[in-house]
């Protein structure tokens, strides 16, 4: 690829402050030192701004995020993370070693495919009154699988001693777990990794508590 990224417009992140998928992208951009613009898409207001015909053109799944970058639009957070890793300088978000890279993708997929979709807003709206118990059940189920995996792969971070896409996925998922009153203390490896990562600036400045669209009563 022979694009000169210096002359390209800043990426535009269409997201929601509390969306874990949007948060993943914010973390990746922060780790890479990528400047970007944010366009809030309120998942609650007006019946859900993600459901408009205008937004559907950006993300046919009617979900956040949607990222306009380098003349294309990407609408899956892991695809965005891998794209910026392949096209921007800065710390690698996927390891060079094939085995570690596979482990990072495995952990990321456990979270992004096996846990998060079962407790996202659209699903919980369908569940109704039992939504908290539903979310707790599937987060616990996922963490019961994730904990032994991380015991095998973790060093300082999820896979060895370098921050990766797996860590980018982990922190927002633990945030969701705590929102739904899951006892994260039952998972010592997950808890340790999360606490370590929350001390890193890229994870703190992108927190849902301090985004442009964070409601005043939820600001840190």
**CATH number for the domain running over 98-204:** 1.20.1050.10
Q: What is the pLDDT of residue 220?
A: 79
Per-residue confidence in pLDDT tens, the chain, 220 aa:
445 554 468 999 999 999 999 999 999 999 999 999 999 999 999 888 999 999 999 999 999 999 999 999 999 999 999 999 999 999 999 999 999 999 999 999 999 999 999 998 889 989 999 999 999 999 999 999 999 999 999 999 999 999 999 999 999 999 999 999 999 999 999 999 999 999 999 999 999 999 999 999 999 7
Q: What is the pLDDT of residue 20?
A: 97
Closest listed residue to residue 73, CA positions, set 153, 9, 139, 156: 9
Residue ranges of domains in the chain: 11-91, 98-204
State residue 46's pLDDT score.
Answer: 87
Write down the pLDDT at residue 55.
93
Taking the C-alpha atoms of residue 21 and residue 203, their distance in angstroms, rounded to an integer, is 14
pLDDT for 1 equals 46
Radius of gyration of the chain (CA): 17
Quote the pTM value: 0.94
CATH architecture, domain defined by 11-91: 3-Layer(aba) Sandwich (3.40)
Return all residues near 93 (Cβ < 8 A) that are at least 6 apart: 28, 31, 32, 81, 82, 84, 85, 163, 164, 165, 168
Give pLDDT, residue 203: 98
């Amino acid at each position: 690829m022979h694009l000169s990224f210096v002359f390209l417009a800043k990426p535009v992140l269409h997201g929601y402050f509390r969306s874990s998928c949007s948060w993943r992208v914010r973390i990746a951009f922060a780790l890479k030192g990528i400047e970007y613009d944010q366009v809030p898409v309120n998942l609650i207001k007006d019946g859900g701004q993600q459901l408009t015909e205008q937004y559907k053109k950006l993300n046919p799944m009617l979900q956040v995020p949607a990222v306009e970058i380098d003349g294309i639009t990407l609408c899956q957070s892991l695809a965005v993370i891998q794209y910026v890793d392949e096209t921007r300088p800065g710390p690698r978000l996927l390891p060079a070693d094939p085995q570690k890279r596979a482990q990072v993708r495995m952990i990321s997929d456990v979270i992004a495919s096996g846990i998060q979709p079962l407790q996202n807003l659209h699903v919980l709206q369908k569940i109704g009154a039992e939504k908290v118990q539903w979310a707790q059940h599937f987060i616990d189920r996922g963490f019961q699988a994730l904990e032994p995996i991380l015991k095998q792969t973790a060093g300082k971070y999820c896979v060895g001693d370098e921050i990766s896409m797996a860590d980018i996925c982990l922190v927002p998922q633990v945030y969701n777990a705590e929102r739904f009153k899951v006892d994260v203390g039952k998972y010592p490896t997950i808890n340790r990794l999360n606490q370590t990562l929350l001390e890193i600036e890229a994870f703190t400045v992108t927190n849902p508590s301090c985004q442009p669209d964070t409601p005043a009563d939820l600001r840190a």
